[in-house]
Amino acid sequence: MSTRQKSCRQCGTCCRKGGPSLHHQDIDLLRQGGIGYRQLVTIRAGEFVYSPVSGAVEAAAGELVKINGRAGEWTCLFLEENRSACGIYDRRPLECRLLKCWDPEELLAVAGRDTIRRADIIPAGDPFLELIAHQQRECPADAVATATAGWRSEPANEKCRDLLADLVRRDLALRNHAVVDLGLPAEIELFVFGRPLFKQLAGFGVGIREVHGRIEFLWP
Ligand code: SF4
C-alpha cells in the first residue's frame, strides 16, 4: 500500500480477508432483509479467530456475528470477484463503511465494540435460542481453547485429547439432531451454531473422518 493512497482502489483485498462483524447500527439491515441469517456466521466466545486489532489469531473475547465467507473461504460472500465490487455497496455494514485500508483508525475504534450477538436478532421465545443455550452447555467453544492448550503442552495431556474428541462429537451430534430431527434449515446452521468445533481443530492440524458411522480423529 502506498502511503500516498487516499481513496479506495476497489482492489477487493480487504473483502478477501473476511466479512465484517455486525454492530447494533447494522440491525436495520437485517430487519429490512438486506442481509439474511443464511449469509451470517457466528463466532462463539473463546473461538480462535483472526483479530483485526492485534493482527493475530486469538480466542474471541465475546460472541460475534459476521457476514459469512464464500465456499468455505473467508472472502466475503458479497464480494463480486469479476469486478472486485461489493454486491451490497449502498447498504454495506458499519465496518465496511469505516474501513480505509490506508488509515485503519476509524475501524479499529469500533472493532469489538457494540457488536451484536445472536440473541439480539433472534426473537425472544424462538426455539433456536434454546438450541443455542444447549450447545453452550454441552460444547462451549472456550472449552476447546483450554483443552487444546493442554493437548499441545509437553508432555501432551491425553485427557485433553479425549475431551476435545468428546466436544467435537457432541457438537456434530447436536447439529445433526437440529437439522434432521428438528427441521433447522441447513443453510442457517452456521449462524445458529457457529463454525463446527472440528473446523477449529483443523487449524491445529487435527483431521477427522467417518468410518462405518463413527468419527475418527487424525492427530498430528
Ligand atoms: S459487505 Fe461488501 S464491502 Fe463489506 S466485506 Fe463484504 S463485499 Fe466487502
Tens digits of residue pLDDT in 67-83 = 999 887 889 999 998 88
For residue 66, the CA-to-ligand 1 centroid distance in Å is 11
User: Which stretches in the chain have pLDDT values below 70?
Assistant: 1-4, 52, 155-156
Q: What is the pLDDT of residues 121-158, one digit of tens each?
A: 999 999 889 999 999 999 998 888 788 877 777 766 78
CA of 181 to the centre of ligand 1 (A): 35
Q: What is the mean pLDDT of the chain?
A: 88
Per-residue CA distances from 92 to 1, 17, 22, 119, 198 (Å):
23, 16, 10, 22, 31
Q: Where are the domains of the chain?
A: 13-119, 123-218
Mutual angle of helices 158-176 and 141-151, in 10-degree steps: 150
Please indicate whether residue 88, judged by its CB atom, sits closer than 6 Å to ligand 1.
Answer: yes
